[in-house]
Structure 1
């Protein structure tokens, strides 16, 4: 296993394996994953030069280049109250297959220290999609989640003895200082209202050398799911919810963090295009809350027409960013 600070050169492609490729591609480069059945998801090759550039750029101490003030910037989105919206359908709409879950756990293992156990935080744990699997793979985990309803659903799922769920937010976590070895934020960073405070709180709760696994989208390094383009201004609207990558990195490096790695993970297909359409109809993605009723109607009509041509086709896969930061 590679250490958390290095990416291992991939082996020859094998069917059903994890794809982790490092390196940055500028927005608009046209890169996207080709449509393919989930049985042919391959291990990627490394984009070594690009990766070296981004990691080296931010490994140096950049705090001297600012006046020490952090500013909340980046994407703006309509706030979602999960106690009144989405909680009933979230677990079903965002469910992961066992194969998909294992791909993510393997990707996290690549960027975490090899020692076990590790004490983890699942920040924005929602309905507990990852929390029990994190505990099984790495050690005890605390899921921190502000929504009462989402925590209640998480607690009805099969439990792991190393898991507990607490009320809290990224800005205010009810755990001691220097108490965790890593924190996972899986598609929760864009929900954080005060990102500066959250970065400072993550600095408080993690031990020196702790890792933040930030599975977030970035306005300039944004996945392009196959269905998104069917909605009016779909890519533009979705990208507007997120900060550019450099803003996130600078926010953390200015208070004592460094970039350990940046890469992408391609999870196996979620099933057929017809299956994916049924899940999208549940509207458990933040994107849908940003659209007008007219745009929703137009988008779903276009998507239904496209899927009707071949509903049993495998849902195409795409690469998803994973930024790992290390607390000095």
Structure 2
């Protein structure tokens, strides 16, 4: 499968707990995604790669009609615990045909999911299919410059324009974790979006929320001066 999330099954509960309060998720990525979504009451929204459901919950609390899916069954189990048995949650792979009809959604939120895919073409075609004309895809991915500089610090300077895979190994609440990503330069991302029939309306490099300065005083200055994630708002043509 193109999207490697089998590791999430191994530490789904640990990741879900970390996601609740982490600097990267709770004070950076999720607030930025919600701000880009704006007013959502009554909007039909698909949470693509929903994980344990914190974004799903926030959108639902704001009045949206939300569906979600994730490739990891373990993460969907965590989402059901949070959201209840009546939540529209599926186990599905973004690299495969999605179990939703054409024109089913006003918005798709794809938070930190596309960078797991080597080839964005099939996934973007499916997301375009399930969006109504004029609907929005709001996506966040690893910032290519962040990846480039991280690899430069670890060894020979990489080629920014090269598309390559890399694996992040880290400890999460005492447990070793491993995730594999695909790096793409910015122009490869924008080309993929436009070729799939999307119009780029926003490219955004957010700051963490001001509250993060007090909660994470040591890490805040780094994140506040150099972006880790890159955000897009795309309109389906």
TM-score in terms of structure 2 length: 0.72
Q: Distance in 2 between matches of 1:141 and 1:115?
A: 10
Q: Distance in 1 between matches of 2:44 and 2:157?
A: 37
Candidates 24, 27, 34, aligned match of 1:105: 34
Deviation of 1:194 after TM superposition, in Å, equals 4.1
4+ runs deviating over 6 angstroms: none
Per the alignment, in what secondary structure is the counterpart of residue 200 of structure 2?
strand
Structure with max Cα Rg: 1
Aligned pair 1:189/2:98, yes or no?
no
Deviation of 1:106 after TM superposition, in Å, equals 2.1
Q: Distance in 2 between matches of 1:242 and 1:180?
A: 28
User: What's the counterpart of residue 173 of structure 1?
Assistant: 98
Deviation of 1:83 after TM superposition, in Å, equals 5.3
Candidates 168, 188, 194, aligned match of 1:247: 188
Residues 115/151 of structure 1: CA separation in 2 closer, same or farther (3 Å cut): closer
User: What's the counterpart of residue 55 of structure 2?
Assistant: 130
User: What's the counterpart of residue 263 of structure 1?
Assistant: 204
Deviation of 1:209 after TM superposition, in Å, equals 0.2
User: What's the counterpart of residue 42 of structure 1?
Assistant: none
Give the alignment's Cα RMSD to 1 decimal.
3.5
Q: Distance in 2 between matches of 1:87 and 1:115?
A: 28
Contact residue 40 and residue 64 of structure 2 kept, 8 A: no
Candidates 80, 88, 92, aligned match of 1:155: 80
Contact residue 124 and residue 185 of structure 1 kept, 8 A: yes
Tell me, which stretches of 5 or more residues in structure 1 are unaligned? 1-76, 274-311
Per the alignment, in what secondary structure is the counterpart of residue 53 of structure 2?
coil
Q: Distance in 2 between matches of 1:235 and 1:118?
A: 45
Aligned pair 1:222/2:140, yes or no?
no
Matched residue count: 206
Q: Deviations over 1:165-198 (max 9, x none)?
A: 1111223211111000111111110123542111
Q: Distance in 1 between matches of 2:9 and 2:80?
A: 18
Q: Distance in 2 between matches of 1:234 and 1:271?
A: 36
Q: Distance in 2 between matches of 1:247 and 1:256?
A: 15
Q: Deviations over 1:264-304 (max 9, x none)?
A: 1222328656xxxxxxxxxxxxxxxxxxxxxxxxxxxxxxx
Q: Distance in 1 between matches of 2:112 and 2:215?
A: 23
Residues 176/105 of structure 1: CA separation in 2 closer, same or farther (3 Å cut): same
Tell me, which stretches of 5 or more residues in structure 2 are unaligned? 159-165, 169-180
